[in-house]
């Protein structure tokens, strides 16, 4: 399954490491996760708040973010049109795989 998400689920996985979202992110064999290229900019912008709400030390949180970056495929966004994210046309070549959009 392919999941395309935004920063909210990244925040959730970092703040609640034993929660459902974090478990989904750890299902590497069954799930591919894609995020727009600006998502980790948002994570960096809200780093201090995430640190405050998460169970991690600063060093641990930095390491967790690095691990997430390795697990998640970062895709370039072309533009926004009517509040819909337009992805680069060569992003995915999918025939029968299911795609879930988890933009919250």
pLDDT band at 31 (very low <50, low <70, confident <90, very high): confident
**Which CATH fold topology does 2-102 show?**
Rossmann fold (3.40.50)
Higher-confidence residue of 99 and 17: namely: 17
pTM: 0.72
pLDDT tens digits for range 46-85? 999 999 999 999 999 999 999 989 888 887 766 444 445 5
Alpha-carbon distance of 71 to 27, in angstroms, equals 10
If you average pLDDT over every residue of the chain, what do you get?
77
């Amino acid at each position: 399954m392919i999941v395309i998400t935004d920063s909210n689920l990244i925040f959730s996985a970092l703040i609640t490491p034993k929660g459902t979202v974090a478990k989904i992110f750890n299902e590497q064999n069954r799930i591919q996760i894609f995020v727009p290229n600006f998502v980790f900019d948002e994570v960096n912008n809200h780093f201090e708040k995430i640190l405050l709400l998460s169970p991690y030390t600063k060093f641990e949180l930095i390491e967790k973010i690095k691990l997430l970056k390795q697990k998640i495929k970062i895709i370039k966004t072309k533009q926004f049109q009517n509040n819909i994210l337009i992805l680069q046309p060569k992003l995915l070549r999918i025939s029968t795989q299911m795609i879930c959009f988890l933009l919250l």
